[in-house]
Amino acid sequence: MRLYNTLTKSEEEFSPKKHNMVRMYVCGVTPYDYCHIGHGRSYLVYDILYRFLESEGYKVLWIQNFTDIDDKIINRANELGIPPKELADRFISEYFVDMDRFGISRAFVYPRVTEHIEEIVEFIGKIIEKGYAYESDGDVYFSVRSYPYYGKLSKRSLEEMMAGARVDPSEKKRDPLDFALWKSAKPGEPYWESPWGKGRPGWHIECSVMSLLYLGEEIDIHGGGADLIFPHHENEKAQSEAVIGDGKFVRFWIHNGLVNLKSEKMSKSTGNFIVLREALNSYKPEVLRLYLLGTHYRSPLDFDPQALEDTGRAYSRIEDTVKLLAHIPDPPSPVYDQAFFDFKSALSNDLNTPQAIGVLFSYIRENRPILDKGAWDPILPIFKFNLLKMCEILGFKFSELTKVSLDTNKLREVMDIVIKIRNRLRQEKRFDLSDEIRDSLNSIGIILEDTKEGTRWKMS
């Protein structure tokens, strides 16, 4: 498998550092509001990566944090007149409601900032001991110029960063480029004790600590949206490697493109966003997944409701095919065909989901004529097996569609007998009885269709 590494700006052959265990850290949400479609796309990308790697025989240890203390949380909680923890707890719960509904696999652990203050304080102390950070009147800052590899991930020079630097008059930095590791407490804010006084962690330090704590050094994949490359991931890389050594933090930095609305980045802070929950109320989760996966994960995506409607019709083709395959038995043992290998090859090519989806639809076009004949063909169990494997990796769920009340082999045999009897009745012009059989089967969810090639049946 090849993955694009933001650090090297090139596709590289991927294999885990430790045998068949893939260690993956994905930056989570700040839970102060409902998730928008941009969040949905980001976690969908890592869900597909997780599903594909697992299907390839790897064990994926996926860690994803919650930033449950932050200026946005504090400000929103003050607006609502509730404690910040109550607000964070509420929207963490809402996050799981939405992501479960969207079919996003659960990470192994969801660590929270507020549960790891002791480890964060200890790590900040190590950065200070190494000479890369300093305390200033209760705040602690990382000294960017003291770290020679700063800018290596985002490919920005210090001069470029300096041109866009902004310094709040209340900040006690030595240099405009320096960033906070620890913030001294303001009146009325939550705080924790530290060697530098009462305060709370800065934004970036949490991911360094949680990644190293749960996954160790040189993890395989660190993921997030492209908007996190700078400053979040650049800062995270610098403060981590200041302690453990250059190049020892993350092997592959993976970033997904953003979702735009009206040609602008989708963002809760600007109000330019569509709530994921509202989209899931309007479209099937599988349709939304198919739409978002139709653009390569590294490319930006302009949200287009009309395109989403078209995707709904395309998804119906998949769904209808799965319905028709419900009565087809599984092959005696797994049999993978060329289409499935082409599908895997697409995903192995930097998670090329548009290409993989193209393989899936070509596979359906190739085999639907055989299925539509209504006659038995030995290729059908293989078609069903491979199609459902592809859909499983893409996160399309068909458990309800594929349920039948009888064993599939027995049901097929029974229906063959019923169709023979009905054909004899039609030959004898006893149409009242043949119609009664058809209508009775229809009432229990089995549809008979009389075609030029003969009678075929499917589950409704």
What's the CATH architecture for 304-394? Up-down Bundle (1.20)
CA distance 398 to 222: 31
CA distance 17 to 236: 21
For residues 173 and 141, the answer to whether their CB atoms sit within 8 Å is yes
Q: What is the CATH number of domain 2-132+204-265?
A: 3.40.50.620
Residue 339's contacts (CB-CB under 8 Å, 6 or more residues apart) are 359, 362, 363, 366, 386, 390
Q: CATH 1.20.120.640: which residues of the chain?
A: 304-394
H or E element that contains 293: helix 285-293
Q: CATH 3.40.50.620: which residues of the chain?
A: 2-132+204-265
For residue 443, the one-letter residue type is: S
pLDDT given for residue 409 in this prediction: 63
Q: What is the pLDDT along the chain (460 residues), one digit of tens a residue?
A: 999 999 999 999 999 999 899 999 999 999 999 999 999 999 999 999 999 999 999 999 999 999 999 999 999 999 999 999 999 999 999 999 999 999 999 999 999 999 999 999 999 999 999 999 999 999 999 999 999 999 999 999 998 888 766 666 667 899 999 999 999 999 999 999 999 999 999 999 999 999 999 999 999 999 999 999 999 999 999 999 999 999 999 999 999 999 998 777 777 667 778 999 999 999 999 999 999 999 999 999 999 999 999 999 999 999 999 999 988 988 889 999 999 999 999 999 999 999 999 999 999 999 999 999 888 899 999 999 999 999 999 999 886 555 443 455 667 778 888 898 998 888 888 888 888 888 888 866 688 888 887 888 877 6
Residue 435's contacts (CB-CB under 8 Å, 6 or more residues apart) are none
Which pair of tokens denotes residue 193?
A: 């004790």
CA distance 102 to 40: 8
Q: Which residues of 339-349 are buried (b: 16+ CB within 10 A; e: fewer)?
A: bbebbbebbbe
For residues 52 and 347, the answer to whether their CB atoms sit within 8 Å is yes
Task: Say how many Å lie between the first and final Cα of the chain, rounded.
Answer: 40
Pairing verdict, β 259-261 and 179-184 = unpaired
